[in-house]
Structure 1
């Protein structure tokens, strides 16, 4: 969900004080930072430092997800400084379409 998005729930608001039907309920989202993640629309970013030896030789990292699971991320040998790794579909869910954003490490 993106900050500022509005969701309308027709007929789910309070009923009229004069006996009319219930009104609409509007919900506006506000995304709160949840360390270690930061959000940019549907994509998430997480900073993770590795040792020089891990960048040179390669390693496997355990990465937390927003579903509170751990996934393994393989860092290939010879990885350069400030390399971003992309995990497709591990970001925030899209509101009106199937799929999710990506997680960048």
Structure 2
């Protein structure tokens, strides 16, 4: 074919697309703020090591003594947990413990 551009490899194509500033292919009628054009985005989140009701030992920072066992009462944020006793009583008034201080029984 006369005038055909040479085929690019995947890496060359990706680099060309990343460096392209040409907006000539953008539909001028397309509005990204229009809900009809919205495409949902799923963001991966951190995996928690423990789940609710897992039995764990607690090791306070700077100590080698393990306390427990306790149950995971709730996960407040990724990597942060509140503990309870096996009868369901909150441990240390719902204090939040970091994942690094806990280990499976």
Q: TM-score by structure 2 length? A: 0.26
Larger helix proportion, structure 1 or 2? 2
Structure having the higher Rg:
2
Q: TM-score by structure 1 length? A: 0.26
